[in-house]
Amino acid sequence: MVSYVKIPSHLKPSDPQGPDLLTQERNLASFDVKELTLVLYGIKDLERYHTILKIIENDPVFDKSNIYFMGRNELFEHAIKKEKRLVQLIRENKWKVEELQFAEWFLDMPGPFGAHRGMFIPTLIGQGTKEQKEKFLVPALNYQIIGCYAQTELGHGSNVKGLETTAIYIPETDEFEIHSPYLTASKWWVGGLGKTANHAIVMAQLISNGKNYGPHPFVVQIRDMKTHLPLPSITIGDIGPKFGFNSTDNGFILFEHVRIPRFNMLSKFSQIKKGTGEYINPPNQKLSYGTMVLVRAIIISGVRVTLARAATIAIRYSAVRRQFIDKDEPKKLEDGSIVETSILDYTMQQYRLFPVIAQSYACFFTAKMMVNLYTEYTKQSSSGDYSLLADLHASSSGLKSLTTTMAVDSIEDCRRACGGHGYSSFSGFVKFYQDYLPNTTWEGDNYILTHQTARYLLKTFRQVTSHKNPEIYASQSNKNPTISYILQYLNEPNQKCTAITPSDFNNHEIQLRAFKHRVAFLIANVVDQIDNQKKSWNSMLVEINRISRAHCQYLLVQNFITALHQPSEDESLRMLHNSPALKEVMTSICNLFVLHTMEKDIGDFLESEYLTTPQARLLRIQVYNLLKEIRPNAVSLVDAFLIPDSLLCSALGRYDGKVYETMIDWASKEPLNGMTLDFNPNNDTFIRKAKL
Ligand SMILES: CCCCCCCCCCCCCCCCCCCCCCC/C=C/C(=O)SCCNC(=O)CCNC(=O)[C@H](O)C(C)(C)COP(=O)(O)OP(=O)(O)OC[C@H]1O[C@@H](n2cnc3c(N)ncnc32)[C@H](O)[C@@H]1OP(=O)(O)O
Ligand SMILES: Cc1cc2nc3c(=O)[nH]c(=O)nc-3n(C[C@H](O)[C@H](O)[C@H](O)COP(=O)(O)OP(=O)(O)OC[C@H]3O[C@@H](n4cnc5c(N)ncnc54)[C@H](O)[C@@H]3O)c2cc1C
């Protein structure tokens, strides 16, 4: 990239600077960073990581040095080039899903094929018959057809049952007629639809013999395979500029009585019989919503790396950045001179940032739990057993809501913790935040999703408490955490916290009891208000959100504590258990996650009368103690995430700490610096290229 401003060569940063400071920080670590990285990735994935990163970093098509200066069209063009090159690499290297997820992560460029890989193909796999897979999946995997997932409409997104697009079965021709009866039925927001896709999975109300069977998925060809123009009776466009995600062509589509063969209704679970139009029921009514469950689980497993990325930038920058001389504890160099304090040493900065590191580690263990639960469900459902679906739907909805909300809040907290430089695109936060933000809305708005989790919790509570002998459920409590805490609450509704010193709060049993008691108390309260005081669902929505959040926080806490203590077959957990140094630092991080989470929602714990007000004060003191305990390891804890510089794309978070050199170097490349202003009021041009 061209530099438009010549920076005087005599200028050096004042001493001691970034690189030295980060080395000093790294020398403080109480554990082996490489060992922790291995725990996080596992041996096989770490090998994959390095192989894929090398390929990506050495490919000029993926060069991101110009990325912060691109407008929408340039970004979209860049994304298309990236997609094409990625397809070539997938073919050349025979990459499978495991390799592809690393590649996509490193590339960090939401592109027009994202929905093809992330939603179109998974829907065909999950909901297509063998014949449908041959017809659609095979060419989709070969990129001969490019698909998207068209569910949301201009008028309805959250309320899937309220979708207006119809698919009416026509027995005479054995076809469906796809139609958008109103303006509000226009599919909207669909990733890859605006310019790219030639096929769509369209969620439409299935109507046969005059009866509506609810939303079902249909494969519809939408563009001509040669000209790439929309097919007759189909109107398509891009929906325009967005808050972020502008490298993707989110689109709209309207259908005017478009005919497709009956074959194109994805029929693994429910079918329409030829000629009679008879509807064959699925084994579970919600299987047509299966793609959403899968993608929610994937989103949850991505939160850890999102938090890790934000924490890495803010922690490294805070170590390098110095402001003010601390009057009480002035920082002295070896030669006795006094220098300004690194902002990472300010307790307020620690209080804002260390919990983000802890959240990332917490999400790491819960991602494992989510993957295990999804894998178990897939295994069982392949033999026709869908009994795990309700659990999976409840935990994936609530966790997607809780963890992505946590992630966007934390990215913003980290950005602000970087002061003015956090507002510059060069911080690495701006595009990152813009592109991540829709995670709180897509695949279910984060508030709407908590209704689903709460429904499940209330149902389970009613089921257990309405039984004459609730203990009958005890055998299920090992596998079902909800039943476990409900039973514990019923046996001991007046539990009290036994902590009498701040460090007592490090006791994992005390922590677990706090979360279990709080959530069961809150659920009991909501059940009472709805069932006995006859409160409406709407009037309870704030409480509904609260119980979903409390339940999912409990899951995060439980998964973290279990990972630290329970013997496991899991390779990563065994490495963690076998290293006392790692276990010690992870225990501090776990304690910080748990106690900081409690402190933020202290009202719930006081209201449930598990804690007293003096205990709340002790808990806060313990949070401060933990910040001090974690301080020497802060930089190494983010180094262990191993987020590469090429992904961070940040002047503030780079591994070598050369913050100021990079800021001025990148600023010198701003194209505006290559222009001069023309102030002459008689000239039409206001800005023109400067003669360099
Ligand atoms: C540091 C270490 C690192 C190590 C490792 C490194 C690895 C690196 C790799 C990391 C990279 C990760 C990157 C990940 C990135 C992921 C990115 C993913 C990208 C995704 C792109 C997405 C693009 C966007 C797409 C979309 O948005 S598609 C549209 C989505 N739309 C929605 O979600 C709509 C939401 N609405 C609904 O789902 C429903 O309407 C509703 C659930 C709200 C209500 O439904 P309904 O009205 O029909 O139902 P009821 O409320 O009446 O309930 C009836 C019963 O049905 C149950 N139910 C409902 N839904 C489901 C379901 N889906 N499944 C099962 N059951 C369901 C209810 O529970 C009710 O049951 P009950 O009667 O028993 O109570
Ligand atoms: C970048 C991006 C990409 C997307 N990609 C796709 C795609 O590829 N395919 C696709 O089909 N869709 C896609 N979507 C759409 C997305 O799934 C929907 O926007 C999402 O499901 C939310 O629905 P909505 O927009 O209708 O929100 P609304 O339901 O209108 O929500 C608006 C507000 O109302 C509140 N609200 C609504 N109903 C209730 C209620 N019952 N109780 C309490 N509060 C309520 C919500 O909490 C929210 O705050 C995408 C969206 C974005 C932003």
As annotated, the binding site includes 152, 191
Number of alpha carbons in the 13 Å side-chain half-sphere of residue 225: 8
**CA 620 remoteness from chain centre:** 29
Residues of the chain with pLDDT below 50 are: none
What pLDDT, in 10s, does the model give residues 115-161? 999 999 999 999 999 999 999 999 999 999 999 999 999 999 999 99
What pLDDT shows up at residue 496?
A: 97
Same structural domain, 263 and 300: no
Task: Specify the pairing of strand 175-179 against strand 258-261.
Answer: antiparallel
Cβ(149) to ligand 2 under 6 A?
yes
Greatest CA separation for the chain:
93
Domain-embedded: residue 83: no
Place of tokens 């108390």: 521
Domain-embedded: residue 218: yes
Ligand 2 atom closest to residue 438's alpha carbon, by position in its atom list: 53
Buried b (16+ CB within 10 A) or exposed e, 390-427: bbbbbbbbbbbbbbbbbbbebbebbbebbeebbebbbb
CATH, residue 184: 2.40.110.10
Ligand nearest to the CA of 460: 1
What pLDDT shows up at residue 469?
A: 83
Q: Which residue out of 289, 408, 538 has the highest number of ligand 1 atoms within 8 Å of its CB and is therefore the one to mutate?
A: 289
Same structural domain, 534 and 468: yes
Cβ(443) to ligand 1 under 6 A?
yes
Domain-embedded: residue 108: no
Domain edge (last residue) among 249, 282, 315: 282
Domain-embedded: residue 30: no
Same structural domain, 276 and 337: no
Domain-embedded: residue 465: yes
CA dist., res. 650 & res. 662, Å (int)? 9
Which among 247, 245, 666, 652 has a CA at the least distance from the CA of 428? Answer: 652
Q: Ligand 2 centroid to 141 CA: how many Å?
A: 29
Residue whose CA lies nearest to ligand 2 atom number 16: 442
What pLDDT, in 10s, does the model give residues 30-71? 999 999 999 999 999 999 999 999 999 999 999 999 999 999
CATH, residue 369: 1.20.140.10
Q: What residues contact 598, with CB distance under 8 A and at least 6 apart?
A: 511, 514, 515, 605, 619
Same structural domain, 297 and 275: no
What pLDDT shows up at residue 475?
A: 85
As annotated, the binding site for FAD includes 152, 191
Number of domains in the chain: 2
Q: Ligand 1 centroid to 233 CA: how many Å?
A: 31
Same structural domain, 272 and 325: no
Same structural domain, 276 and 301: no
What pLDDT shows up at residue 388?
A: 92
Q: Ligand 2 centroid to 490 CA: how many Å?
A: 38
- CA dist list (Å): 327 to 45, 338, 339, 558: 47, 11, 11, 42
What pLDDT shows up at residue 510?
A: 98
Would you give the DSSP letter of residue 580? H
Same structural domain, 268 and 298: no
DSSP H/E element including 587: helix 580-600
What pLDDT shows up at residue 678?
A: 79
What pLDDT shows up at residue 680?
A: 81
What pLDDT shows up at residue 691?
A: 61
Domain edge (last residue) among 282, 302, 326: 282
What pLDDT shows up at residue 468?
A: 80
Same structural domain, 243 and 188: yes
* Three-class DSSP labels, 402-429: HHHHHHHHHHHHHHHCCHHHHHCHHHCC
What pLDDT shows up at residue 641?
A: 98
What pLDDT shows up at residue 677?
A: 84
Cβ(438) to ligand 2 under 6 A?
yes
Same structural domain, 184 and 322: no
CA dist., res. 26 & res. 311, Å (int)? 16
Q: Which residues are catalytic?
A: 443
Same structural domain, 396 and 472: yes
Same structural domain, 501 and 382: yes
Cβ(85) to ligand 1 under 6 A?
no
What pLDDT shows up at residue 91?
A: 97
Cβ(577) to ligand 1 under 6 A?
no
Q: For residue 575, what are the domain limits?
A: 293-639
Contact 301, 160 (CB under 8 A): no
DSSP H/E element including 27: helix 18-27
Domain edge (last residue) among 639, 659, 674: 639
Domain-embedded: residue 396: yes
Same structural domain, 345 and 272: no
Domain-embedded: residue 152: yes
Domain-embedded: residue 19: no
Q: Ligand 2 centroid to 531 CA: how many Å?
A: 30
